[in-house]
Amino acid sequence: MAETVLLVEDELFIALDLQATIEEAGYCVEGPCMTLEEAQDAIDRHGARGLVAALLDVRLADGTVFPAADRLYAHGVPLIFHSGHADEMELRNRYPQAKICPKPSAPAVLSAAIRRCAGGSAARGV
């Protein structure tokens, strides 16, 4: 069974592109979650420890992703922020080990970030 990446993105077409990028990198996708509530439910359902990484937009329809990111970070899940509305300094201060990929980022850049964060154990070279 492939490893799972949590996807939190509230723009449908971007979410579908990101889902394809994650799957092409060899990972399963939990999501896409379009709201903080959906992200929290996905963490509850899947379990933070069962996720190898999380690809997160910051601003969602029902608030910011930070409550979910805090939960994931507390469990050691590697975070990748993909946002056009984020304060990079705030993210670096709050989540020092997180990867930040500004929106838009090329699929190859995101795939590489996911592989690095997840340990690169899924479908190398895909």
- Tally of helices (H runs) and strands (E runs) in the chain: 5, 7
Q: Binning pLDDT at 50, 70 and 90, where does residue 121 land?
A: very low
User: pLDDT tens across 10-52, in order?
Assistant: 999 999 999 999 999 999 999 999 999 999 999 998 876 789 9
pLDDT at 65: 96
pLDDT at 4: 95
Percent of the chain with pLDDT over 90: 77
Q: What's the CA gap between 74 and 44, in Å, rounded? A: 14
Element spanning 39, H or E: helix 36-46
Q: What is the residue extent of each domain of the chain?
A: 4-118
CATH class of residue range 4-118:
alpha beta
pLDDT at 45: 87
Say what the pTM is: 0.90
Q: What's the CA gap between 65 and 67, in Å, rounded? A: 6
- Backbone φ and ψ for 117, nearest 5 degrees, come out as -65, -40
Task: For residue 85, give the DSSP letter.
Answer: S
